[in-house]
Amino acid sequence: MDWKDKNILVTGAAGFIGTWLCKRLVKLGANVFGFDLESFHHPFLMQSIGLDTRTVSWMQGDLRDYDEVERVVAESEPEVVIHLGAQPLVTVGRRLPRYTIDTNVMGTTNLLEAVRIRMPTAKIVIASSDKAYGDKNPAPYKETMQVSGEYPYEVSKSCVDLIAQTYYHTYDLNVVISRCGNVFGGGDINWSRIIPHTLKSLYNNSLINIRSSGQLKRDYIYIEDVIEGYLLLAELGKKGEAYNFGYNCCYSVIEVMETVFKVMGKVAFYHIAHKTDQEISEQWLDASKAMNTLGWKPQHSLQTGLLPTIQWYEKYFSKGE
């Protein structure tokens, strides 16, 4: 696809993944409209990733407010919409289920409805998650499996998936769905996630606290491979279909920490709290569909993705953030 001068609307644009995506789209010459609940409140994050905030047309608002969402779609007139806006944390979903479901489910519904009314020919990439598959499907997850979340965050992502497909089946909207593993990279300051938490603890010489048993297994994917997946979905994704993006393997929490230690050449101590329940024990994705039909090929592994990630956090902490 020739992205030059195309109007692209990115929801969740001021977040971790959104910032990387906007950077790439600007580089490709697109007219980028960034919609987010917050303004770019932390310019260092964007600048350190390489995004000049002046190159994006920022629109602040709440996905839960339909009138606001419709206004944004009407004003940006997007040819492509990439919907990243969400409440993204499993633990917050457990504490605040209504907020999570309202943001993720109704926020997605509001966006799809606004596009249906205002820009029905737009291509829409919906960011779902491997969590949408729930705990009943055996790993590795395949797109032919039913989505079946049980807990608040997982259910919200299952619903996002189904609502996106509803708008395709009912209104023939050009919707495609991404299901990614755990995304990591520079710019993620959600400290409850294992890689940011580990690096912050190492920098501060503090004990690493693991809320789970340390044996939960996940598919970790570096941010630049995710961004490439979104761009390929916008260009080649078949409407109404979902695509997995992951490394076809999984690591336990302890294995991820130990990989960080090894890359950094450090020895560290951690405490295992055994406090979590209602979390899926093992999740990883079969990404062969994306590889075979989109030509997506990851350029990183957990180890090689950690190198630039660690470098980013070292700069971040050295700034006194």
Query: Known catalytic residues?
Result: 153
d(CA 141, CA 123): 25
CA distances from 310 to 118, 260, 316 (A): 43, 8, 10
3-state SS, 139-153, equals: CCECCCCCCCCCCHH
299: amino acid identity, one letter: Q
CA distances from 159 to 100, 243, 265, 304 (A): 12, 16, 43, 34
d(CA 92, CA 26): 32
| Exposure letters 30-57 (e unless 16+ CB within 10 A, then b) | bbbbbbbbeebeeeebbebbebeeeebe
| Exposure letters 226-251 (e unless 16+ CB within 10 A, then b) | bbbbbbbbbeebeebebbbbbbeebb
Neighbours of 190 (CB within 10 A): 14
d(CA 198, CA 256): 9
User: Residue 236 in contact with residue 294, Cβ under 8 Å?
Assistant: yes
Q: Across the strands, what pairs with 208? A: 270
Angle, helices 107-118 vs 152-171, to 10°: value is 20
DSSP strand E in 134-269: where? 174-180, 182-184, 208-210, 217-218, 220-222, 242-245, 251-252
